[in-house]
Amino acid sequence: MLDDQRIDFSLNDLPILISGAEKTGTSFFTVCLLVNLLKSGHKVILFSAHPAAKEEFRNQAGTDLTGALIIDSEKEDDFIEIIKTIPDLSERVVLIKNIDSYSQKLFEAVKDLELVIFSGDLDKCNFAADLLKKKFSSKIFFSYSEKEPIEELKSLPKYSGKIVSEKYNGVIKLDV
């Protein structure tokens, strides 16, 4: 929901940066977004530092995971090697979840992808400076960030984010 109106993200809204500190709703929102893209018929790849996100994705997606590739390893070197072998990589939405757990090496491997979602705590991200140089169609913040300071983020309601994009600008939250 954006300002209490339902919205559906599309490939035109990518690439997306989703940032937030722990316990702000960032992770749940990100997984829901990827599931919605999968259910809309888009092929997706999920890479996360934590098994809980993969489990939540599987629970929400249900039994039909056609079009979904869930990288079981949490190691960035494994992920980088795997994506080199994916022939239709440019046609898949790639979610890099927990950006704060990875290095510049991971960013270099995916920085030129257009269908990508970077999610995690921007303030703890090792490659935040380069990440912020990337042109994003959408940025969503669930908490105030020292690296990308937006004053109004200090007063966001819990589990709500601020979206700034070519198409949207306002408070976003899940309709659960």
Sequence-separated (6 or more) residues with CB below 8 Å from residue 121: 19, 20, 21, 22, 26, 99, 100
Predicted local confidence at residue 176, as pLDDT: 60
Per-residue pLDDT of the chain (176 residues; tens, 9 = 90+): 676 778 889 999 999 999 999 999 999 999 999 999 999 999 999 999 999 999 999 999 998 899 999 999 999 999 999 999 999 999 999 999 999 999 999 999 999 999 999 999 999 999 999 999 999 999 999 999 999 998 888 888 888 999 999 888 889 888 76
Question: Which CATH number is 94's domain given?
Answer: 3.40.50.300
Number of domains forming the structure of the chain? 1
| C-alpha–C-alpha distance, residues 22 and 5, integer Å | 26
Residue that has been written with the tokens 């970077």 in this structure = 118
6: in domain: no
Tell whether pTM > 0.85: yes
Are 16 and 41 in contact by the 8 Å Cβ rule? The answer is: no
Question: In 10 A of CB 136, how many CB atoms?
Answer: 20
70: in domain: yes
CA angle 175, 28, 148 (to 5 degrees): 100
Q: Domain range for residue 108?
A: 11-172
| C-alpha–C-alpha distance, residues 173 and 157, integer Å | 10
93: in domain: yes
2: in domain: no
Predicted local confidence at residue 7, as pLDDT: 84
4: in domain: no
132: in domain: yes
